Amino acid sequence: MNVTTIDSPVGPVSISVNGDGAVTSVLFGEPAVPATPSESSDAAAAQLREYFAGQRTAFDLHLAPSGTDFQHRVWAALREIPYGRTESYGEVAVRIGSPTASRAVGLANGRNPIAIVVPCHRVIGASGMLTGYAGGLERKRWLLDHERDEQPTLT
């Protein structure tokens, strides 16, 4: 496993890449293991830096998150939410063909190991309110404001 950590406006972001060069996680904070960058993790880091600089709206990375079939369906649906847009948990549930599974979608969303690249921050409550986010609601708000070009600030 190769790990690279970048500084970002929302704090350190750690990127883990497996031996095949696929991204297995993008997590907020410092890695639990010492950083050992590789060409693949450096490429992912470059794309994340471009995202934070407002120069990238989509990612072109090979991903290999660990999860159940249902989680993979949810995470694939998250990648279809356009930059700068949001969807509710219920809307994602309908899109994956499980209209009564909004709670399960919320659980899968919360277990997404590849933050930002698999944009779980773009999922909001049915009322339009920001709801739980593994990285914290302040980060979620910052990411959404960033994508809406609203000069975000992290409080």
Separation CA 133–CA 143 (nearest Å)? 11
Asked whether residue 95 is domain-assigned, the answer is yes
Please indicate, yes or no, whether residues 97 and 33 belong to a single structural domain of this protein: no
Q: Indicate the range of 17-26, 41-50, 95-104, 126-135 predicted with least confidence.
A: 126-135
Q: Are 87 and 105 in contact (CB under 8 A)?
A: no
Residues 80 and 137 occupy one common structural domain? yes
Q: How much of the chain exceeds pLDDT 70, in percent?
A: 94
Averaged pLDDT for residues 32-61:
89
Give the global pTM. 0.91
| Residue 153 located in a structural domain | no
Q: Residue 131: what pLDDT?
A: 83
Place of tokens 């880091």: 45
Query: Do residues 30 and 82 both lie within one domain?
Result: no
Spot the catalytic one: 63, 101, 114, 120: 120
**Residue 80 vs residue 130, higher pLDDT:** 80
The bridge status of strand 123-124 relative to strand 87-88 is: parallel
* Domain coverage including residue 139: 69-147
- Confirm whether 19 is domain-assigned: yes
Are 33 and 24 in contact by the 8 Å Cβ rule? The answer is no
pLDDT at 129: 82
Span 67-122, pLDDT tens digits: 999 999 999 999 999 999 999 999 999 999 999 999 999 999 999 999 999 999 99
Cβ-based neighbours of 91, under 8 Å, separated by 6 or more: none
Residue 72 pLDDT:
98
120 is catalytic: yes
Phi, psi at 142, each rounded to 5°:
-60, -45
Structure tokens of 1? 């496993």
Same domain, 45 and 75: no
